[in-house]
């Protein structure tokens, strides 16, 4: 039975409503009945005790009376006064015999006034002894005689062992014998204890456990006078200390009468009545085991318990039946509900049972119908929505994995596919190749022709790339002009190389876009798995590195990744870090190389050259760190510092009164296009109180060519300031002299590679001569660099070269050593 | 929704439980209301004693004893769940008034039992009243015997418990030449018959026999006679104030060497003559205050706590006290307070009394009692010098003469006195 269930509640409720009142009523009535019964039983026991008491009293009184009567008879008197004669008398003999037989006494004795036992029927040892002085003066007989003599009263002595009768326990009834008012002696009859037994042991009405217990007090003990049910040979042998005695007997011996339920000498619960019997000076307890005396009570209790149990059982059964009739429809409803929820939509509740439950079933069925309709509608909608969702999901997935412009997989998708391809290759053998493709000069196209053109270019690049590879290969766009191709099933680097070559060829062809024909080319880096790495990151990074290598080695080419590339990249990184530190810690200084005016024959200017003295690595050559500074943008702060330092030194020289006209500073490409350049230069000149002609700025051909439009604008601005401009390393680039005429420069510096080979090399001589001549025709001065020998100086002099620079005239020197140099010359 | 349903159910359930508890409480209340016992009316007992008149000195202490017993019973919860209340009537020491009061108490107050009388005259006056109404009276005094009313319980000593053992003791102890001295009324007259029987039984001699009127203090003739006769022992049955005159006279006549055994001098009387000490004065009673038992010590202490530390207790007082206890136990045992029932029940009662176990002998309606002989002390108390080992079976008609003889003697004596 589950707590909280309807069955349980019905049981509890019915139990409370039916069983509890019955229980209360019954226990109250049972209690009242028990009380009455107990009272009646106890009272009955009291009546019995009183009856027994009265019986004993009456018996003894009658015996005393008889004895008294006998003592008054002439025969007795005669016997005491004249023993011999009377004894012969047959009449007396037969009278005594009859008396003894009727009474059951043990003996009859006659004592004369002096205490002599003059007659005894049994003629035991007490005969002819004197009770006042003789051997039996301490016996009950002697005491009885004394009392009779003193009180002239007939009475019974106590029960004690009597020695002349072999210590049989006996008492004596002694009656004084008077003759004419004079005491002439006493009559004594001897009662053995056993004589009382029939009187005492009559247990009529006491049932099977009833008992009459008698005891007398002997000093501080109770001496039991009858045999007991639990102690068979108790009579006159069983004694117990008064302090230890059973309560009823203790009370009786103290003279108290009473009745109640108490414990007997054996510790058994009994219904008892106790009395003091003065005639015997005994305590008497009439008792019956409570178990028997109160048996009707117990029986009634059992019966009541059974009836109650029956009522309880019937209640439980009725409640169960009742609950079942209520619960059955509910169970059916529950079953239908669970079947419907399990999908059996055809199920409907049976509309049976009590009215309320029928209503419930009907309502349930209606609700079920509605629910099913609702569910069907819902399912249709869910199906439609699911379809929509799936479409949207697929689209989202495509968007997430593809580049929208070219519809190629994007970077995210690529890494996934590369990972798949890698794990496939690792399991199945052949390696794969990753090609990193970057379109050269794409930024220029984007900047100059606009994004639309750039985008179209990228689309065509993507198409061409796809045409170049197999279907199993992957082409992806990483972003901007960067593409990546994964070539699977690659066994040798050559296979990858062939594809790279094919790509290079295809992408180098002109692109036709919106009536424009554009030229571009790819730089391709290749990394191979497993040779160059087995992880997505390593392969992509290495391909990237290789691509940069290709780019730095002149573009429109492809390079395989090699470990050295990696080392170079690391060195570059190191330099970049060192550079940042160097800028902060001022590890740079400038050295100045003098430029000789050939006509004047003196130094007129100096080229400021940057030197980096690394605290640990020592002097680091500019060709190692300048490109890095250029790439990272560090060239801008570095360039500014160089400009400022050179201006400061120029001013210093001016103040020292040195005969030097100007200082030349190299300008990098980034510096040239920087928005802040013009402002910075003019502020420096102003700050150091220098006129613009004191500063010369050198740019390389490639610097000027990189962003021709903005470069030209910047140069023009510088020129407008009045600053002298010169082209450095002239002759090494691809620019043509025709381009030179657009530049607002005052000088060009003939590259030292030409100077080195003159005067012996004819080509060099020709170039030098042509350059100088051409320059002069355009009004541009020529500075020859790297002049180391007088032969070279003479040759250049013959060509009317304006300024000479080189070891022949002076190495680059720190400013403080300059004064001496200048003075020397 | 589910919560609401559950709450509603719980509330309904709680309300039902409350209703049930209310109903149960109401039921229990009704049960108690109809079953409660009526406020227990006290059980009434009538006490008739001379609170005024010449017996007041003797009888007032008996009222005290009865009061003490009743108070003790009530302290232990009363009888049959009811308290005991006493209605005390003043007999003004007049037997006729005592009889009238007895009638009144029986009929008007509806007492359960009477505790009445000191003198035999009083008892004999009340006896027909209680017999007529089949009522029950408890009599506390030792007396001359020769009476056994089926409606009186005789709680005092019967002659075989006082006169016979006392006389026997006197004869055994002091000698056979006996001078009898008594007041002139029923008790001494009857006592002397018995005493003379005893003297005859041992071949002794009554050297003189004198009766003085009740209250008389003229002792000169008697003193002269005593001086002349010089008996072995005087047996004194004088009652009341004449005893004071007797002992003063003995003192004044230099007869203090004569042993005297009194049957009507107890502690109270002895205390009334503190300046007269008769060294060989002996009294015979079933109780002395000096009795050295735990039961008696407790009784004396209770009495003195209740009524004063210098109060003395005597045999009649103890008997009056024990009478109440016997009655109470009879009521308890029979479960009834009707005199008929109690009269039956009381015949089987024993109580532990200050004097020892006191039992009523159903055959004679008298009490089993101890008999003590006490020697008077100067301080008004007695030293117990002799006692019989066990209580004595009461015999209002002493056994040495047949019953019919005693009845004739009694008739003759009462006729003598009335004339």
Task: Kindly report, residue by residue over A565-578, the tens digit of the pLDDT.
Answer: 767 767 777 788 88
Best probe of the A interface among B393, B401, B404, B405, by most A CBs < 10 A, is: B393
Q: Are residues A472 and A545 in the same domain?
A: yes
Q: Are residues A508 and A602 in the same domain?
A: no
How would residue A736 be classed by pLDDT, with cut points 50, 70 and 90?
Answer: low
Tokens of B20: 């049930």
Contacts with B356 from chain A: Cβ below 8 Å: 255
Residue A815 has pLDDT above 90, yes or no: no
Residue with tokens 């790509």: A503
Number of domains forming the structure of chain A: 3
Classify residue A647 as exposed, middle or buried by CB count within 10 Å of its CB (0-12, 13-18, 19+): buried
Q: Give me the domain span that covers residue A495.
A: 411-561
pLDDT for res B1: 39
How would residue A281 be classed by pLDDT, with cut points 50, 70 and 90?
Answer: very high
Task: Kindly report, residue by residue over B290-307, the tens digit of the pLDDT.
Answer: 999 999 999 999 999 999
The 8-class DSSP code of residue A116 comes to B
Residue B82 to residue B70: CA distance in whole angstroms: 12
pLDDT for res B89: 96
pLDDT for res A1: 54
Q: Which of A155, A174, A196 is the last residue of a domain?
A: A196
Q: Does B8 fall in a domain? A: no
Residue B7 has pLDDT above 50, yes or no: no
Q: Which of A173, A196, A219 is the last residue of a domain?
A: A196
pLDDT for res B371: 94
pLDDT for res B3: 41
pLDDT for res B10: 52
Q: Are residues A721 and A762 in the same domain?
A: yes
Q: Does A505 fall in a domain? A: yes
Q: Are residues A490 and A598 in the same domain?
A: no
Residue B324 has pLDDT above 80, yes or no: yes
Percent of chain B's residues with pLDDT above 90: 76
Task: Kindly report, residue by residue over A112-122, the tens digit of the pLDDT.
Answer: 999 999 988 89
The chain-wide mean pLDDT, for chain A, equals 86
pLDDT for res B72: 96
Q: Does B49 fall in a domain? A: yes
Task: Kindly report, residue by residue over A39-78, the tens digit of the pLDDT.
Answer: 899 989 988 999 999 999 999 999 999 999 889 888 888 8
Q: Give me the domain span that covers residue B95.
A: 43-157+292-368
Q: Are residues B271 and B398 in the same domain?
A: yes
Q: Does B17 fall in a domain? A: no
Q: Are residues A594 and A507 in the same domain?
A: no
Task: Kindly report, residue by residue over A394-430, the tens digit of the pLDDT.
Answer: 888 887 778 888 888 888 888 888 888 888 888 887 8
- Least Cα distance to A288 among A265, A266, A269, A267 occurs for A269
Percent of chain A's residues with pLDDT above 70: 96
- Among A424-428, B2-6, B216-220, the range with the most confident prediction by mean pLDDT is B216-220
Give phi and psi for A732, each to the nearest 5: -90, -25
Give the dihedral sign, CA A341/A347/A348/A352: negative
Nearest CA of chain B to the CA of A256: how many Å?
5
Residue with tokens 């009324």: B185
Give Cα B33 distance to the centre of its chain: 44
Residue A734 has pLDDT above 70, yes or no: no
Say yes or no for a CB contact (<8 Å) between B201 and A279: no
Residue A69 to residue B402: CA distance in whole angstroms: 9
240-279 in chain A: CB under 8 A from chain B: 254-259, 275-276, 278-279
Q: Can you say whether residue A372 is alpha, beta or left, with left for phi > 0 and alpha for psi between -120 and 50 degrees?
A: alpha
> Distances from the Cα of B329 to the Cαs of A255, B195, B346, in angstroms?
11, 35, 8
Say yes or no for a CB contact (<8 Å) between A154 and B399: yes
Q: Are B117 and B98 in contact (CB under 8 A)?
A: yes
Classify residue B294 as exposed, middle or buried by CB count within 10 Å of its CB (0-12, 13-18, 19+): exposed
Residue A162 to residue A771: CA distance in whole angstroms: 181
pLDDT for res B245: 93
Q: Are residues A501 and A602 in the same domain?
A: no
CATH code for position A502? 3.30.70.270
Span between the terminal Cα atoms of chain A, in Å:
125
Nearest CA of chain A to the CA of B370: how many Å?
12
Task: Kindly report, residue by residue over B127-176, the tens digit of the pLDDT.
Answer: 999 999 999 999 999 999 999 999 999 999 999 999 999 999 999 999 99
Q: Are B103 and B125 in contact (CB under 8 A)?
A: no
Helix count and strand count (H, E) for chain B? 13, 15
Contacts with A275 from chain B: Cβ below 8 Å: 348, 350
Residue B34 has pLDDT above 80, yes or no: no
Q: Which of A166, A196, A226 is the last residue of a domain?
A: A196
CATH code for position A799? 3.20.20.450
pLDDT for res A263: 93
Q: Does A596 fall in a domain? A: yes
Query: Which residues touch A423 (CB under 8 Å, ≥6 apart)?
Result: none
Say yes or no for a CB contact (<8 Å) between B368 and A278: yes
Q: Are residues A699 and A649 in the same domain?
A: yes
pLDDT for res A344: 82
Residue B341 to residue B346: CA distance in whole angstroms: 9
Nearest CA of chain A to the CA of B34: how many Å?
14
Classify residue A585 as exposed, middle or buried by CB count within 10 Å of its CB (0-12, 13-18, 19+): exposed
Task: Kindly report, residue by residue over A210-251, the tens digit of the pLDDT.
Answer: 999 999 998 899 999 999 989 988 889 999 999 899 999 999
Q: Containing H/E element for A701? A: helix A701-706
Task: Kindly report, residue by residue over B194-205, the tens digit of the pLDDT.
Answer: 999 999 988 899
pLDDT for res B157: 96
Q: Are residues A511 and A644 in the same domain?
A: no
Q: Are residues B167 and B269 in the same domain?
A: yes
Sheet containing B372-376: give its strands across: B205-212, B177-183, B233-237, B260-262, B281-285, B372-376, B382-387
- Least Cα distance to B106 among B150, B147, B47 occurs for B47
Q: Are residues B278 and B298 in the same domain?
A: no
Q: Are residues B120 and B189 in the same domain?
A: no
Q: What mean pLDDT do residues B44-70 have?
A: 94
Residue with tokens 């002894």: A129
Q: What mean pLDDT do residues B221-236 have?
A: 95
B400: closest chain A residue by CA: A152
pLDDT for res A159: 94
pLDDT for res A733: 62
Q: Are A530 and A426 in contact (CB under 8 A)?
A: yes
CATH code for position A172? 3.30.450.20
pLDDT for res B366: 97
Chain B residues interacting with chain A (CB cutoff of 8 angstroms): 20, 24, 27, 31, 160, 164-165, 168, 172, 197-198, 200-203, 329, 332-333, 335, 345, 348-353, 356-359, 361-363, 368, 388-393, 395, 398-400, 402
- Least Cα distance to A208 among A289, A320, A298 occurs for A289
Give phi and psi for B354, each to the nearest 5: -55, -30
A522 touches chain B (CB under 8 A): no
Q: Are residues A514 and A603 in the same domain?
A: no
Q: Are A156 and A60 in contact (CB under 8 A)?
A: yes
Q: Are residues B56 and B179 in the same domain?
A: no
pLDDT for res B6: 47
Task: Kindly report, residue by residue over A129-141, the tens digit of the pLDDT.
Answer: 999 999 999 999 9
Nearest CA of chain B to the CA of A333: how many Å?
18
CATH code for position B388? 3.40.50.2300
B395: closest chain A residue by CA: A153
ipTM reported for the complex, 2 dp? 0.87
Q: Are B284 and B263 in contact (CB under 8 A)?
A: yes
Nearest to A176 among B200, B400, B402 (CB): B400
B336: closest chain A residue by CA: A43
Task: Kindly report, residue by residue over A567-617, the tens digit of the pLDDT.
Answer: 776 777 778 888 888 888 888 888 888 888 888 888 888 899 989 888 888
Task: Kindly report, residue by residue over B390-400, the tens digit of the pLDDT.
Answer: 899 999 999 88
pLDDT for res A298: 86
Q: Are residues A594 and A721 in the same domain?
A: yes
How would residue B38 be classed by pLDDT, with cut points 50, 70 and 90?
Answer: low
Contacts with A254 from chain B: Cβ below 8 Å: 352, 357
How would residue B325 be classed by pLDDT, with cut points 50, 70 and 90?
Answer: very high
A73 touches chain B (CB under 8 A): no
- Among A14-18, A353-357, A661-665, B14-18, the range with the most confident prediction by mean pLDDT is A661-665
Q: Give the torsion through C-alpha atoms of A572, A578, A584, A589, to 10 deg.
A: -90
How would residue A2 be classed by pLDDT, with cut points 50, 70 and 90?
Answer: low
Contacts with B37 from chain A: Cβ below 8 Å: none
Q: Are residues A662 and A724 in the same domain?
A: yes
Residues in chain A: 825
Q: Does A29 fall in a domain? A: no
Contacts with B31 from chain A: Cβ below 8 Å: 28
pLDDT for res B2: 40
Q: Are residues B166 and B235 in the same domain?
A: yes
* Cα Rg of chain B (Å, integer): 28
Number of domains forming the structure of chain B: 2
pLDDT for res B4: 44
How would residue A820 be classed by pLDDT, with cut points 50, 70 and 90?
Answer: low
Residue A284 has pLDDT above 90, yes or no: yes
Q: What mean pLDDT do residues A311-322 have?
A: 84
Nearest CA of chain A to the CA of B359: how many Å?
6
Say yes or no for a CB contact (<8 Å) between A152 and B400: yes
């Amino acid at each position: 039975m589950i707590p909280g269930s309807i069955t349980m509640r019905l049981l509890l409720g019915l139990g409370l409503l039916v069983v509890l009142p019955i229980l209360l009523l019954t226990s109250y009535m049972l209690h009242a009945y028990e009380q009455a019964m107990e009272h009646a039983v106890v009272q009955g026991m009291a009546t019995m005790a009183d009856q027994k008491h009265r019986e004993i009293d009456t018996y003894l009184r009658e015996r005393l009376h008889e004895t008294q009567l006998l003592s008054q008879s002439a025969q007795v008197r005669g016997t005491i006064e004249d023993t011999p004669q009377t004894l012969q008398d047959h009449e007396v003999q037969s009278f005594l015999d009859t008396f003894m037989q009727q009474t059951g006494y043990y003996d009859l004795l006659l004592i004369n006034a002096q205490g002599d036992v003059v007659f005894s029927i049994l003629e035991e040892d007490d005969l002819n002894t004197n009770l006042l002085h003789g051997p039996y003066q301490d016996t009950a007989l002697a005491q009885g005689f004394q009392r009779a003599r003193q009180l002239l009263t007939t009475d019974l002595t106590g029960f004690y062992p009597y020695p002349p009768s072999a210590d049989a326990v006996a008492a004596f009834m002694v009656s004084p014998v008077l003759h004419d008012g004079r005491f002439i002696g006493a009559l004594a009859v001897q009662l053995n204890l056993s004589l009382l037994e029939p009187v005492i042991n009559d247990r009529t009405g006491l049932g099977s456990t009833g008992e009459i217990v008698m005891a007398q007090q002997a000093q501080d003990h109770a001496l039991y006078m009858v045999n007991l049910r639990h102690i068979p040979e108790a009579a006159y042998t069983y004694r117990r200390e008064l302090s230890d005695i059973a309560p009823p007997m203790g009370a009786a011996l103290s003279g108290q009468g009473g009745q109640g339920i108490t414990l007997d000498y054996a510790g058994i619960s009994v219904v008892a009545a106790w009395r003091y019997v003065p005639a015997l000076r005994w305590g008497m307890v009439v008792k019956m085991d409570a178990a028997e005396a109160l048996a009707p009570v117990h029986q009634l209790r059992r019966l009541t318990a059974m009836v109650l149990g029956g009522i309880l059982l019937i209640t439980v059964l009725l409640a169960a039946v009742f609950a079942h009739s209520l619960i059955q429809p509910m169970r059916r409803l529950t079953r239908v509900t669970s079947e419907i929820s399990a999908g059996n939509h055809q199920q409907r509740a049976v509309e049976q049972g009590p009215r309320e439950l029928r209503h419930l079933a009907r309502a349930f069925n209606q609700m079920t119908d509605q629910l099913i309709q609702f569910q069907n509608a819902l399912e249709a909608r869910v199906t439609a929505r699911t379809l929509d969702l799936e479409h949207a999901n697929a689209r989202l997935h495509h968007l997430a994995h593809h580049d929208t412009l070219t519809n190629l997989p994007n970077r995210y998708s690529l890494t996934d596919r590369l990972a798949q391809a890698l794990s496939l290759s690792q399991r199945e053998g052949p390696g794969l190749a990753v090609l990193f493709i970057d379109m050269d000069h794409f930024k220029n196209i984007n900047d100059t022709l606009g994004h639309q053109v750039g985008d179209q270019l990228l689309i065509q690049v993507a198409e061409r790339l796809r045409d170049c590879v197999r279907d199993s290969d992957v082409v992806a766009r990483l972003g901007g002009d960067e593409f990546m191709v994964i070539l699977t099933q690659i066994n040798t680097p050559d296979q990858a190389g062939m594809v790279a070559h094919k790509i290079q060829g295809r992408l180098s062809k002109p692109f036709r876009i919106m009536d424009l024909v554009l030229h571009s080319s790819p730089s391709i880096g290749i990394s191979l798995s497993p040779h160059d790495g087995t992880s997505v990151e390593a392969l992509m990074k290495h391909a990237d590195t290789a691509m940069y290598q290709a780019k730095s080695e002149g573009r429109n080419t492809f390079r395989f990744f090699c470990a050295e590339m990696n080392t170079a990249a690391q060195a570059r990184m190191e330099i970049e870090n060192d550079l940042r530190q160097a800028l902060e810690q001022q590890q740079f200084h400038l050295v100045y190389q003098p430029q000789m005016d050939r006509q004047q024959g003196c130094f007129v200017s100096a080229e400021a050259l940057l030197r980096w003295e690394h605290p640990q690595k020592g002097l680091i050559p500019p060709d190692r760190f300048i490109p890095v500074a250029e790439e990272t943008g560090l060239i801008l702060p570095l360039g500014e510092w160089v400009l400022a330092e050179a201006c400061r030194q120029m001013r210093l020289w001016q103040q020292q009164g040195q005969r030097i006209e100007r200082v030349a500073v190299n300008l990098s490409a980034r510096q040239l296009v920087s928005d802040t350049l013009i402002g910075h230069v003019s502020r420096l000149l102003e700050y150091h109180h220098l006129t613009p002609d004191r500063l010369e700025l050198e740019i390389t051909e490639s610097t000027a060519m990189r962003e021709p439009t903005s470069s030209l604008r910047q140069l023009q601005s510088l020129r407008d300031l009045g600053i002298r401009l010169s082209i450095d390393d002239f002759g090494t680039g691809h620019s043509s002299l025709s381009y030179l005429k657009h530049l607002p420069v005052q000088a060009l510096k003939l590259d030292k590679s030409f100077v080195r080979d003159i005067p012996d090399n004819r080509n060099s001589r020709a170039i030098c001569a042509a350059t100088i001549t051409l320059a002069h025709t355009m009004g541009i001065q020529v500075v020859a660099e790297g002049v180391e020998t007088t032969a070279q100086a003479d040759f250049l002099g013959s060509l009317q070269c304006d300024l000479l620079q080189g070891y022949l005239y002076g190495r680059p020197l720190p400013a403080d050593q300059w004064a001496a140099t200048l003075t020397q010359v | 929704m589910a919560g609401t349903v559950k709450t509603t159910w719980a509330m309904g359930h709680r309300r039902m439980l409350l209703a049930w508890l209310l109903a149960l409480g109401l039921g229990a209340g009704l049960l108690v209301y109809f079953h409660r016992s009526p406020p227990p009316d006290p059980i009434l007992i009538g006490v008739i004693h001379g609170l005024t008149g010449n017996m007041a000195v003797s009888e007032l202490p008996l009222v005290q004893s009865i009061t003490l017993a009743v108070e003790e019973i009530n302290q232990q919860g009363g009888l049959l769940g009811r308290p005991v209340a006493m209605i005390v009537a003043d007999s003004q020491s007049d037997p006729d008034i005592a009889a009238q009061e007895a009638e009144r108490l029986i009929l008007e107050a509806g007492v359960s039992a009477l505790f009445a009388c000191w003198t035999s005259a009083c008892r004999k006056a009340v006896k027909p009243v209680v017999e007529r109404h089949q009522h029950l009276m408890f009599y506390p005094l030792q007396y001359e015997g020769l009476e056994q009313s089926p409606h009186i319980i005789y709680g005092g000593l019967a002659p075989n418990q006082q006169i016979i053992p006392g006389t026997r003791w006197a004869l055994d102890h002091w000698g056979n030449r006996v001078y009898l001295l008594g007041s002139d009324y029923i008790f001494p007259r009857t006592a002397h018959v018995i005493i003379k029987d005893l003297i005859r039984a041992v071949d002794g001699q009554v050297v003189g026999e004198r009766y003085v009127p009740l209250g008389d203090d003229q002792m000169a003739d008697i003193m002269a006679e005593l001086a002349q006769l010089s008996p072995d022992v005087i047996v004194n049955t004088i009652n009341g104030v004449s005893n004071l005159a007797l002992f003063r006279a003995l003192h004044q006549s230099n007869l203090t060497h004569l042993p005297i055994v009194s049957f009507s001098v107890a502690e109270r009387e002895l205390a009334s003559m503190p300046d007269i000490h008769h060294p060989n004065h002996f009294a015979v009673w079933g109780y002395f205050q000096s009795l050295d038992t735990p039961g008696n010590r407790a009784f004396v202490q209770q009495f003195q706590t209740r009524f004063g530390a210098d109060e003395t207790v005597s045999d009649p007082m103890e008997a009056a006290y024990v009478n109440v206890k016997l009655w109470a136990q009879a009521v308890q045992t029979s479960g009834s307070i009707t005199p008929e029932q109690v009269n039956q029940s009381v015949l089987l009662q024993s109580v532990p009394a200050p004097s020892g176990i006191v039992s009523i002998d159903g055959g004679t309606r008298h009490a089993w009692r101890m008999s003590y002989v006490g020697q008077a002390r100067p301080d008004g108390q007695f030293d117990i010098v002799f006692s019989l080992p066990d209580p004595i079976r009461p015999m209002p008609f002493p056994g040495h003469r047949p019953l019919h003889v005693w009845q004739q003697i009694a008739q003759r004596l009462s006729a003598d006195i009335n004339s």
